[in-house]
Chains A and B, each alone.
Chain A
Amino acid sequence: MSTPEYPSNMPLGADQHRLRALGRNHRLDLAFQGTTFVFAMLVLVTLFAIIASLAVAGYSTFATFGFDFFTLNRWSANQEIFGALPAIYGTLVSSAIAILIAAPISIGIAVFLTEKCPSKLRQPLATTVELLAGVPSIIYGMWGVQVLAPFLQRYFPSVLPAGTGLFTAGLILAIMIIPFITSVTRDVLMTVPKATRESAYGVGATTWEVTRSILLPSVKGGVVGAIILGLGRALGETMAVTFVIGNNLFFAPTLFGQGTSIAALIANQFPEADGAQRSALLALGLVLFLITLLVLTAARLMLRKMDRAHG
């Protein structure tokens, strides 16, 4: 502890008080720091506790199946054949479809809102997009199975004979993550200084040129972050996906056919599961955890690389 400094013109008698007050403040500060540190650690502890308990509960599955757990083509609980391949494939494919649809649309919305939108429309539109994020996922699921799936089935019967499947799940996921990607992108676009924008327009650039060459490059990192946030949500979304993904537990390399995702499979089977099946489902939970972790880490690395390239 360093000696507290105080102005030399202070009355001598005040020194003791001043010192004591400073000491008190310091202790207070330490306590505050300690408390916030404990809060932060709680998150880490919880995270590792979850990983550890999933690993312990799923251990017997990994021990029994080894690497086959990732390559077997079916999840057949009654025969005790647990292959995660169909679920992993479905999770990745439906999330990829969602990102491919949602990313351009969201960036488009964000650019429109910040650059071109008449100011009267701006707030209502932004609020509407954010309201989409507030719709509970079960509502998306019910809407998906009752409205979207029959619609797709009626107008694209050759591609989607049942209306449900990986593509439909991707479509629902896209709608669900658009508000997330949009609002983050919008926020980062707003951080671009007015002067930059105005200079670009001043030298005669079109809106497209400004957007492409000035705005997006300067907020690249933020936009990628927004997309990753959306992807993280898409990977773990359960309720809505369960309704529309088709829940087929056999692996099929398909985009439009029926499939399943990790979250949907767990949601469907966990309530009635015991023994080996329960362990396998928990192991599957760990796999989802790791996939999400991998995606987030990859995103961080990508961001860091971009930052370095940028400046």
Chain B
Amino acid sequence: MFKRLLTAAAVGSLMCASAGAMAQSINGAGATFPYPVYSKWADAYQNETDIGLNYQAIGSGGGIQQISARTVTFGASDAPLKPEELKKNTLVQWPQITGGVVPVVHVEGVDKGGLKLDGKTLADIYQGKIKKWNDKAIAQLNEGVDLPSTNITPVYRAEGSGTNFLFTHYLAQVSDEFKTNIGEGKSVAWPSGVGAKANAGVASQVGQINGAIGYVEYAYAVENDLNVVSMKNKAGKFVTPNIESFKAAAGNADWKDAEGMYLVLTNQPGEGSWPIVGASFILMHTDVKDAEAAKRALAFFDWAYENGDDAATELNYVPIPSNVAELVREQVWSQIKADGKAVWDK
């Protein structure tokens, strides 16, 4: 992720530099998690249409602030806004891309992909209640695996992040104790363990410490060949993290009945669903001042829904299914108006 961000930042600054010369560009700011795929889309889109994307990956919180202050045409956030928050700020949101978060471990004596956990156990580990790898709770889930008595060191993301939000959102659903004591959010106070910066930091800490467990974006686990954990999902089945199990989770998502598209895809039903999956959202105003700019942005997101799937899959993200994209066009984009007239017509 770090490396990707660096390249992305370089691309971003180049785009800033040329933005002045460019007649038309789209301005947005927000989440870092989807940045690699947005910039890849932007490259391809610019080749086709000559319209550039100027996206500042300043974090979800910053994205929400900037769009609320109307300094950008769209904002991006990994955590969806609640329907009442949307109303208060005259905003709409929709999912643009989906990704998965996976627990990774480093336990000498346990093979790659050899460890299974369920949500309750994972929550207890992160609360510091399960301290050794050969604890009964872990052994029960891993019959036939010779677990060592190594101490468990939980590693977590130190900074506020969308990855934190998805991970804690999942743990809060499967453990009431976690929900009351720690709760969900982009920054939480972990009672034990080590905080590391960004996906890269978590991966390197997990790599260094025997007995460590961490969580990273799936793309990062793949690139670094980390030891991923299989998780027991809501249907009671153990699933391995991969694009297929993310798709299964995303496919079960009920966007239609989600008010204001407020939906976090953790702990979804379905036998093949990976439990920690989340969408990254785009935010726009319902009463736009600059109709042309809004239209340009929507045209880009429409293009991404149509043509962006391969690029997303290549980067280990899960594209939004076409029926959901259709729903977004009909129910969300129709609300975006300038002077009472809908901006999007297609």
| B residues in contact with A118, CB < 8 Å | none
* A161 & B151 in contact (Cβ 8 Å cutoff): yes
* B188 & A271 in contact (Cβ 8 Å cutoff): no
Other-chain contact of A162, B153, B160, B184 (Cβ < 8 Å): B153
* A271 & B186 in contact (Cβ 8 Å cutoff): no
Q: Which of A241-297 contact B (CB under 8 A)?
A: 242-243, 246-250, 258, 260, 264, 267-269, 271-274, 277
In the complex, what distance in Å separates the CA atom of A163 from the CA atom of B189? 20
Q: How far is the CB of A140 from chain B (nearest CB, A)?
A: 14
A/B pair count, beta carbons within 8 Å: 106
* B194 & A258 in contact (Cβ 8 Å cutoff): yes
A75 contacts the other chain (Cβ, under 8 Å)? yes
In the complex, what distance in Å separates the CA atom of A76 from the CA atom of B26? 36
The interface-forming segment of A33-41, A143-151, A181-189, A206-214 is A143-151
In the complex, what distance in Å separates the CA atom of A161 from the CA atom of B150? 11
A119-130 CB mask vs B (1 if < 8 Å, else 0) is 000000000000
A contact residues, total (Cβ < 8 Å): 34
Chain B residue nearest in CB terms to A273:
B61
A-B contacts, 20 listed (Cβ < 8 Å): A76-B189, A77-B185, A78-B168, A78-B182, A78-B185, A78-B186, A145-B205, A161-B209, A164-B205, A250-B191, A260-B195, A269-B159, A269-B160, A269-B187, A271-B58, A271-B159, A272-B60, A272-B187, A273-B160, A273-B187
Q: Knowing that A161-B153, A163-B208, A164-B194 touch, tell me 17 more A-B residue pairs with CB under 8 angstroms.
A: A74-B189, A75-B189, A77-B185, A78-B182, A145-B204, A150-B208, A161-B209, A243-B201, A249-B189, A250-B190, A250-B191, A250-B192, A271-B62, A272-B161, A272-B187, A273-B187, A277-B187
Interface residues of A (CB under 8 A from B): 74-79, 81, 145-146, 149-150, 153, 161-164, 242-243, 246-250, 258, 260, 264, 267-269, 271-274, 277
Counting from the closest, the 9 A-B pairs by CB-CB distance are A78-B185, A247-B195, A272-B160, A247-B158, A76-B189, A272-B61, A249-B189, A77-B187, A268-B159
Interface residues of B (CB under 8 A from A): 58-62, 64-65, 151, 153, 158-161, 168, 182-197, 201, 204-205, 208-209
